[in-house]
Structure 1
């Protein structure tokens, strides 16, 4: 808990330092003589502070730059690791001393602390246009909501902090899951109003990103642990808003194009993306390309995490499967000939690299997610799939398989529901969504029954870092 408190106290100091951004053109550096007393007055200083929020999530090997969110989600069938640092998550036996848990938790609360500070200091602005302040607040609120969304799904009840109480976190009692979601939705409801439709710079959260994340939050709230099915209506309606042509989102014709460096800044499917930078080695570069490549057979990676043969074997054939997995290595051998599991192909194209950092990118919210959220929610609300739900589903289904014929086995609500859930597994394989789908649909035990027959329902939540536990303030999960 002392570490969280120190993070909060250092927020102003850290945000007053030169920052290297993890997304394009958010790289304005504050003057070197800034202090908490004179910081947060100009637009450039606020932009530097915004960069500090993103930098907390995408830097230093313990966030989205290295796929720590994927490691925490590796209890699903699509991701696996045998590395000593990661294997307990794949085997669903993590403990409260895991370095991955500790570091991810700290990075999340650093981002939250930075967002709290930025939001609270907007009132100090001098000569900053109102629309600029709105955009800054919207981005900070989106990123804070985004961070809490990961915390509540991985850890359940957590502390919701503000600028006023974050220096006294030892007295801030954890909020219930419902209360955390209330805080998330409050931030997103403000963000969707204050954010513009687009920015000149890529990597900034937009109005469409806020609405998409809100739809995803609503969908999650329909399942475990809240199990409030009334949110299906809100999930459907919010997804429908994002499907409006004015936002300009669409599916790429070729699934493989999503993962190419040449397309990363112009994809019509990306709604919110982290972009790696090699402007300064090790600060905000991506490590995903090396982490997900095999270390042998000419691949030159680290082999930290990969997929599973059992998942690969049932994956529908087509261009999506070819773009999701590396089944043939650089020297021409197959993964079966090498005696290993299939590796993840989505992050192979890291672009320019400086030492171990690359210009790789992480699509976090894609338009395909919007379509499948709509299909799942509309199917529930209408007691079966209407034509709009079928059309949304078919767009993803047909692209993934390279087929022109629509899916036909959808005569009932339950059949279509299963089809959508399976399609989510294929479409977002190795992107971290499968684990969260298993949790919200209470399928962790059944999905792992064959390989982990002794797994318990308590595996749905990860243990919180033991160093942060204060009984009655922040309580440990059962694990």
Structure 2
């Protein structure tokens, strides 16, 4: 029986999703049947009232679920791509494995942050979907919105799982007895479920945001992730159409602000962000300088910085540096707030989706469909914001190459975009192999299935190149 603590469903203020919310739905272990304590609710009771139902879905956004996974989705991808390095990699073996693209199946970081947290959140979403579907007592509009949020969140986690691991178990039920021994589903099957969830979420969610900061999923967040999924699948007409719905939204304002304002939590470029307690993001904390050494936890490689064109203001505004013991460390300066308290406060959250990506999705999709003018216009929207002139690319091949380069200079340090781009375009072996000649193997394009999962579920098979 699944139990919930009533006190975990505290009210949310101004739409900000406080990281203090616990993982009220998820669990890694099966529950023991015991008498319920006076302050516990079972699954059916949670979804009888608007307040507890809202709290249950909000729990999926909590630190150890969405933010904990998002943090490592970001760092793992950036390290794997060769775009970033970790200052203590030599003394931190598990992080060094990602930096060298030589991750072991026994890695605790792999198991906990990249596998367990996502599947905890997926189970949370499944519990919510089942409870909401069965409920007849909730306010109809709220029930519809919560269903959409749960669908989006399940799709979000599967999107990252399938891109990191390839085929993964497709768990669509909260019944652990029924799902504990599921085999891996094909990449196409997982993507089909992602797209189905996002299309359903798009139909269920309102266009306007709940609260003052875009910290809860709305219709356009679902559409934005749908556009990305279509692009990755090579469904270019669908990717273009979805990105167009976001770019052309009329019931909410999206635009490309000045570079200095793109990452503050009030930015109109933000499509979805995860709120924090005092306004400092995990990216700001790790990319800025908090240690006495002056070195950030994660910093850009020389190769990552070398790709900026002359006159690209993103190089000046979004990258800075610090020198320690005569060594230059190139810092990501998108997020400015390294730490914040109740007294100091900050104005940055963890951004999951923003508008610039939608222009680049549409530019690539249009180029693939021979819409040269349309692709150029979308690419130029991003380039012009960065202080660059219009693209000289005028053929499909040149435009796609230009978009991929623009994605590298626009989306660096954000949720593993560079790693996924290298993999989906078939360039990971060439590019990362050249950056890491001593450790790279072609099979490293997929992470290993955690060894502990193989022990628990003998129907899982390990990815090629790993033992066990």
8 A Cα contact 2:77 2:420, kept in partner: no
User: Any conservation in 2 of the 1:350–1:360 contact (CA below 8 Å)?
Assistant: no
Which secondary structure state, in structure 2, belongs to the residue aligned with residue 86 of structure 1?
A: helix
Compared CA separation, residues 358 and 107, structure 1 to 2 (3 A): farther
Matched, 1:462 2:414: no
Query: Structure 2: 5+ residue runs without aligned partners?
Result: 25-36
1:76-117 deviation per Cα after TM superposition (whole angstroms, max 9, x unaligned): 132222421412112111111222211121110111111000
Residues 2-56 of structure 1, C-alpha deviations (whole Å, 9 max, x = no match): xxxxxxx76x436873469799345699997232152221111111111111115
d(CA) in 1 for partners of 2:198, 2:338:
31
Q: Matches of 1:287 and 1:354 in 2, distance apart?
A: 16
Q: Which of residues 4, 15, 21 is equivalent to 1:13?
A: 4
Answering whether residue 107 of structure 2 is matched by residue 98 of structure 1, we say yes
- Map Cα deviations across residues 334-354 of structure 1 (whole Å, 9 max, x no partner): 47x740431222233256336
Structure 2 residue 83 is matched with structure 1 residue 78: yes
The answer to whether the 8 Å contact 1:16/1:49 transfers is no
Contact 1:56 1:107 in 2 (8 A): no
Structure 1: gaps of 5 or more residues = 1-8, 223-230, 280-284
Does residue 137 (structure 1) correspond to residue 147 (structure 2)? The answer is yes
Number of the residue aligned with 1:387: 373
Number of positions where the alignment pairs a residue of Structure 1 with one of Structure 2: 438
State the 1:298 CA deviation. 7.3
What residue in structure 2 maps to residue 311 of structure 1?
304
> How far is 1:67 from its partner?
4.4
- What are the equivalent positions in structure 2 for 1:197-208 lying under 5 Å apart? 197-201=207-211, 202-208=214-220
Q: CA offset at residue 290 of structure 1?
A: 2.7
Q: Map of 1:2-401 to 2, 5 A cutoff?
A: 12-13=3-4, 17-18=8-9, 24-26=15-17, 33-36=39-42, 38-55=45-62, 62-64=68-70, 66-82=71-87, 83=89, 84=92, 85-104=94-113, 105-125=115-135, 127-201=137-211, 202-222=214-234, 231-260=235-264, 264-265=265-266, 267-278=267-278, 286-294=281-289, 299=294, 303-316=296-309, 317-327=311-321, 329=322, 334=323, 338-350=326-338, 352-353=340-341, 360-382=348-370, 385-400=371-386
Q: 1:140 to 1:442 in 2, by over 3 A?
A: same
Q: In 2, distance between residues paired with 1:376 and 1:70?
A: 25
- Structure 1 Cα separation of the partners of residues 187 and 432 of structure 2: 25
CA deviation profile, 1:409-463 (whole Å, cap 9, x unmatched): x132111110000000000011121110001011112112333225222111111
Give me the whole-angstrom Cα distance separating, in 2, the residues matched to 1:44 and 1:142. 20
In structure 2, how many angstroms separate the alpha carbons of the residues matched to 1:113 and 1:22? Answer: 26
Q: Residue by residue, what CA displacement relative to the aligned partner does 1:350-402 show, whole Å, maximum 9, x if unpaired? A: 563369x97741211111111110010111112xx4322211110101212x1
